[in-house]
Amino acid sequence: EIVDFNMFLNRIIDRFEMTHKDDVDFVRNIPDTAIFTEIAMDKVGQVLDNVISNAIKYSNSENKRVEFHVKQNRLYNRMTVQIKDNGLGIPGSKVDRIFERFYRVDKGRARKMGGTGLGLAISKEIIEAHDGRIWANSVENEGTTIFINLPCETLEEDVWDV
């Protein structure tokens, strides 16, 4: 389906906001204008659910914050969404491994939290099936940012206002 990614993301954040009224601050840096993209909403919704759940789950902070940034690159018909948390972070040597099946940074902690360690491996498959890319930046004890880059459409009228 072709959807306005910004509206799609806002709906998902609204849902998280309802269940985390008191413990998480959601900061939205999302353009008011639409970014149209052709995605399987259920699949990409699953990716965002996992990434946002991770951002909330892997944090001891008293003031949990999850920040969203959406940017369109019109020249290349691509868009990037960043989901940034102020949680536990991940040691540098392990950042790239979080996209492997069953990989978990802290086995003991992970066992207590439940889950399977498949969330990001599945997310990567889904994003790559959309001709997209997903990667992470992280600083231990500071937080993690997940980047998702996807193709998007440029409206015909936009072509003329370069």
Residue count (the chain)? 162
Relative orientation angle of helices 5-19 and 41-57, to the nearest 10 degrees: 40
- Of 17 and 153, which has the nearer Cβ to ligand ATP? 17
* Binding partner selected for residue 55 from Mg ion, ligand ATP, none, CB under the kind-specific 5 to 8 Å limit: ligand ATP
Please report the DSSP string for 67-81 in residue order.
EEEEEEETTTTEEEE
d(CA 32, CA 22): 26
Return the exposure string of 41-55: e unless at least 16 CB atoms fall within 10 Å of the residue's CB, then b: eeebbebbebbbebb
Give contact residues for ligand ATP (rule: CB under 6 A). Answer: 50, 54-55, 58, 85, 87-88, 90, 98, 103-106, 110, 115-121, 144
Q: Which amino acid is at 26?
A: F
For residue 9, the partner it binds in Mg ion, ligand ATP, none, with Cβ less than 5 to 8 A by kind, is none
Binding test (CB under 5 A) with Mg ion, winner from 50, 86, 123, 138: 50
- Which span sits near Mg ion by CB under 5 A: 14-22, 34-42, 44-52, 74-82? 44-52
- Asked if residues 90 and 98 have their Cβ atoms less than 8 Å apart, the reply is yes
Nearest residue (beta carbon) to Mg ion:
119
Residue 129 C-beta: closest distance to Mg ion, Å? 19
Which member of 37, 54, 123, 149 binds Mg ion (CB under 5 A)? 54
Q: How far is the CB of 100 from Mg ion (least distance, A)?
A: 13
Rg for the chain (alpha carbons), in Å? 16
Q: Which residues bind Mg ion (CB under 5 A)?
A: 50, 54, 119
